[in-house]
């Protein structure tokens, strides 16, 4: 049933790939909790907390990248980095 929901919603134009993944996750959670009764709510809360923590870490990295790039640009470090990297291409050490 889950592959049918995933592929059917994407191929039918009902949802994008990300939305179809979210719908599939909700269907899997519903099936595990209410149909098969193999997942308990205590397990779900722990999984939600871990998922929230991981998402927050990624969000913090993305949020910090803006000020960090502004700082590197205002200090002129980007030009120095470019000069250093181009200097590597002419030496014995090649940049792959």
For 14-49, what is each residue's pLDDT tens digit?
A: 999 999 999 999 999 999 999 999 999 888 999 999
Q: How far apart are CA 15 and CA 9, in angstroms?
A: 6
Q: How far apart are CA 62 and CA 54, in angstroms?
A: 13
Task: Specify burial of residue 27 (Cβ count, 10 A radius: 0-12, 13-18, 19+).
Answer: middle
Q: How far apart are CA 48 and CA 40, in angstroms?
A: 13
Please tell me the predicted confidence (pLDDT) of residue 31.
Answer: 93
Q: Is the pLDDT of residue 96 over 60?
A: no
Alpha-carbon torsion, ordered 77, 66, 64, 58, to 10 deg: -120
Please tell me the predicted confidence (pLDDT) of residue 91.
Answer: 62
pLDDT band at 52 (very low <50, low <70, confident <90, very high): very high
């Amino acid at each position: 049933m889950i592959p049918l929901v995933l592929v059917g919603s994407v191929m039918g134009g009902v949802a994008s790939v990300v939305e179809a993944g979210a719908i599939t996750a909700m269907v899997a959670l519903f099936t595990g909790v209410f149909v098969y009764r193999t997942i308990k709510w205590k397990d779900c809360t722990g999984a939600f907390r871990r998922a929230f923590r991981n998402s927050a870490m990624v969000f913090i990295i993305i949020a910090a990248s803006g000020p960090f790039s502004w700082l590197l640009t205002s200090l002129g470090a980007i030009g120095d980095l470019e000069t250093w990297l181009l200097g590597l291409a002419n030496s014995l050490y090649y940049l792959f």
